[in-house]
Amino acid sequence: MNVSIVGSGYVGTTVAACLADLGHVVTAIDIDEDVVAAVTDGETPIHEPGLDELVAEHGGDRLRATTDYDVVPETDLTMLALPTPSNDDGSIDLRFMEAGAESVGEALAEAEGGDDDPHVVVTKSTVIPGTTEDRLAAAIAAAGVERGEDFLVASNPEFQREGSAVADFLNPDKLVFGTDDDRALAALRDLYAPLRDAADAEVPVVETGIPEAEMIKYANNGFLAAKVSLINDIGNVCKEFGVDAYEVADAIGLDDRIGERFLRSGVGFGGSCFPKDVGAIISAARERGYDPAVLSAAVELNDAQPERLLGLLDEHVDVRGERVAVLGLAFKPGTDDIRNTRAVPVIEGLQARGAEVVAYDPVATENMRERFPDVEYAESAAAALDGAHGAVVVTDWDEFAALDEEFDAMAEPVVVDGRHVVERRDGITYEGLTW
């Protein structure tokens, strides 16, 4: 198929590269000329394992990039993979999605002749139920094109985790096709046919309505966020009793009603999805008169975990005027994404205490430097620990598990581990957040 994808962020770039790898011809549309040039030259604009190789192989060939929407009518299907950030009240900001939809509509309206089949426009980004039909379809139609005759709409939410997005796309747990039109459904089936043939196992496909597909993504992320906060809550209780929460989690994970995944208690979740999506669905529910208590509690507990981490540090050292190492800045290993990373409130808390913060991350330093230009950034974990009066582990990079003699260079070897990655050892004062 010939596919256009509007937006070349984490989702758009990964989807574009993976679809090209499946044999489709894909054109990425983005307003950022540097991103367009990078993709054209076979370079990825983001850090994601496995993505560099795909973009290098297909960039400039089956994977193309442009700032021009004129390519839209030449493609069979367009995906909207634009940002859906949060407003101050947690509600979803649709400016970018609506602008992209309007541009798609204008490109379709300006096209002369062409295929008689209506163009399929698919919402890939996470949006509140009803958005695709009520807001995005209207934005497309505003250019003078008619839904059903000139264009069709569908929802195809993504379930890709940063750090494993390529693998998640190529071997998904499920595919969700939301549409009320058989023609759009047929297009989605054709789009993913090569993936279903190539996947390591049979891929379940959910064919449903558009608002149901939109809600499935929120339900998915809401459930997982609540599970993370629940195990953190249990972990906090374990800590009060001197119980190792990880031994408890190993045991309860054997119950197939609970499962072993997402039971790593610690400093909390971050990233572009869980905080934003949970906040958006809470806000949308409250607008309709319902307060989702469990989801609200999940957010509240998650927001409190960084301060619990710092509270444990306070028990061992007065950090005012002292050097404190922050190990890990990305919201999770395998990515350079710092959106909603727990490192931000940790650094803010240390600065409020008067500490001299020195931070290290294998790949996310430059992104965090824009957020905290006054923080010292080390070239290695060893350099960050050298002379420090305390250290906090915020991201569970594998290299932190290998630290040993590096702790001997600390002025005061106090280590508070928020991710259960550092081994307790002689010579350091060690505190695990929930163990």
Closest CA to 22 of 61, 66, 62, 75: 62
Q: Is 79 helix (H, G, I), strand (E, B) or coil?
A: strand
DSSP 222-272: HHHHHHHHHHHHHHHHHHHTT--HHHHHHHHTTSTTT-STT---SS---SS
pLDDT, position 116: 75
Cβ atoms of 309 and 433 within 8 Å: the answer is yes
The residue annotated as part of the active site, out of 79, 273, 415, 421, is: 273
Question: From the centroid of its chain, how far is CA 9?
Answer: 11
Q: Tell me the per-residue pLDDT of 377-428, one tens digit each, with 9 for 90 and over.
A: 999 999 999 999 999 999 999 999 999 999 999 999 999 999 999 999 999 9
pLDDT at 114 over 80: no
- The conformational region for residue 263 under phi > 0 = left, psi -120 to 50 = alpha, else beta, is alpha
Cβ proximity of 69 and 183 under 8 Å: no
Q: Is 273 a catalytic residue?
A: yes
Distance of alpha carbon 397 from the chain centroid: 17
Mean pLDDT score across all residues of the chain: 96
* pLDDT single digits (tens) 138-196: 999 999 999 999 999 999 999 999 889 999 999 999 999 999 999 999 999 999 999 99
Q: How far is CA 1 from the centre of its chain?
A: 27
pLDDT at 113: 60
- Percent of the residues in the chain that have a pLDDT greater than 70, as a whole number: 99
Q: pLDDT of 290-306, one tens digit each?
A: 999 999 999 999 999 99
Q: What is d(CA 266, CA 235) in angstroms, rounded to the nearest whole number? A: 8
Measured distance CA(5)–CA(77) in Å, rounded: 8
Tell me the percentage of the chain whose pLDDT exceeds 90: 96
Q: How far apart (Å, rounded) are the C-alpha atoms in residues 148 and 30?
A: 27
pTM tops 0.85: yes
Residue 159 to residue 124: CA distance in whole angstroms: 10
Q: Please state the separation of Cα 223 from the chain's center in Å.
A: 15
Amino acid at 14: T
pLDDT exceeds 70 at position 112: no
Q: Specify the DSSP class assigned to residue 147.
A: B
3-class secondary-structure state, position 111 = coil
Describe the strand order of the beta sheet including 390-393 as a list of residue ranges: 376-377, 356-360, 323-327, 390-393, 414-417, 429-432
Distances (CA, A) of 212 to 15, 132, 177, 192, 253: 22, 11, 10, 20, 30
User: Residue 255's pLDDT band (boundaries 50, 70, 90)?
Assistant: very high
Alpha-carbon distance of 238 to 235, in angstroms, equals 5
Whether pLDDT at 264 is above 90: yes
Structure tokens at 157: 């939410």
